[in-house]
Amino acid sequence: MWRFAGVDLATARARIDAAFEAGVTLFDTADIYGFDTPGGFGSAETLLGDVFAEAPGRREAMVLATKGGIIPGVPYDSSAPYLASAIDASLRRLRTDRVELWQIHRPDLLAHPQEIARTLEDAHAAGKVGAIGVSNFTPAQTSALARFLPVPLVSHQSEFSPLHLAPLFDGLFDQSMEQGMAFLAWSPLGGGRLGDPADERGRAIAALLDAKAAEYGVSRAAATYSWVMAHPARPIPIVGTQKVERIGEIPQAFIPRWTRAEWYAVLQIAMGERLP
């Protein structure tokens, strides 16, 4: 839902309907999404809440996730008073009394994990959030928060694509597998850069993805999503397209299959070096 704001209700409803028709059930938004549109901070959540008001059955059928803790100009606040107010504000905008997953959007270096944990525990106990996750956290930051939480952290959300490989090597995938956490991969197409590569590395990666796409009769995007999903941490690509026709292509991601040699070939081109 990163670019969901700034459109009319009919357009928003068409996007949600297309996603359901494609088999999508997880919808990931955040309170800051839309802050750079005329609607401002919270406008993506507000627009989704408008869709729910028009079609309440859509809310009942989805796994709804949102995030909070970023304030333009601050930039981060995970203090107890702010997080409690942010969760309540998101629920009002979304016109719902509960979200299935609530995630801290980015770590606040001035907030003690015990303070954060207490606030999230209260929201969970009150039934406002069904589960708790973290976004853009390091493994150490995640472990520190988990130490004070009586309920498990169920998800990581961080960037992962052939153009951003950090979770493979910084411990995020390892922790996800160790703790049984879902991994939500944002910008799985490299922020759109894999759609129109601007350098030799990107073009070389795209060529391998295109070969896989041609083998299975799918789009380059679908081949990329399938490469992301092939890791045993079972990353879930957060698909950011707002085009109905592209949303309809999402199921193609389940079609391609990668051999180890093919998957590692993409990785080594992406790394710019051969593995030993």
Q: What is the 3-state secondary structure (H, E, C) of 94-145?
A: HCCCCECEEEECCCCCCCCHHHHHHHHHHHHHCCCECCEEEECCCHHHHHHH
Record the tokens describing residue 187, joined without a space. Answer: 């910008």
Q: pLDDT at position 134, please? A: 98
Instruction: State which amino acid sits at residue 230.
Output: A
For residue 99, CA distances in Å to 22, 82, 131, 218 come to: 22, 18, 8, 33
Residue 233 lies in a domain: no
Task: Output the six-digit token pair for 117.
Answer: 């944990």
Residue 219 in any domain: the answer is no
- Domain span at residue 62 reads 9-159
The CATH number of whichever domain residue 107 belongs to comes to: 3.20.20.100
Query: Which member of 33, 82, 216, 264 is catalytic?
Result: 33
Please report whether residue 256 resides in a domain: no
Asked, for residue 123, whether it belongs to a domain, the answer is yes
185 within some domain: no
Of 134, 24, 3, 7, the C-alpha closest to 16 is: 24
Query: Which residue type does 11 have?
Result: T
pLDDT score at 208: 98
**Helix-strand-coil split of the chain, %, nearest 5:** 45, 15, 40
- Predicted confidence at residue 66, as pLDDT, reads 98
Q: Is residue 14 part of a domain?
A: yes
**Rounded Cα distance, 114 and 146, in Å:** 9
Within a domain: residue 3? no
pLDDT in tens, the chain (276 residues): 999 999 999 999 999 999 999 999 999 999 999 999 999 999 999 999 999 999 999 999 999 999 999 999 999 999 999 999 999 999 999 999 999 999 999 999 999 999 999 999 999 999 999 999 999 999 999 999 999 999 999 999 999 999 999 999 999 999 999 999 999 999 999 988 999 998 999 999 999 999 999 999 999 999 999 999 999 999 999 999 999 999 999 999 999 999 999 999 999 999 999 999
Question: β-pairing, 26-28 with 153-159?
Answer: unpaired
pLDDT for 74 equals 94
What pLDDT shows up at residue 202? 95
The answer for residues whose C-beta is within 8 angstroms of residue 100's C-beta and 6 or more apart is 63, 64, 65, 130, 131
Is there a catalytic annotation at residue 82?
no
List b or e across 234-256, with b for residues whose CB sees 16 or more CB atoms inside 10 angstroms.
ebbbbbbbbeeebbebbebbeeb
Whole-number pLDDT of residue 211: 98
Largest CA distance in the chain: 56
User: How many domains, in total, are found in the chain?
Assistant: 1
167 assigned to some structural domain:
no
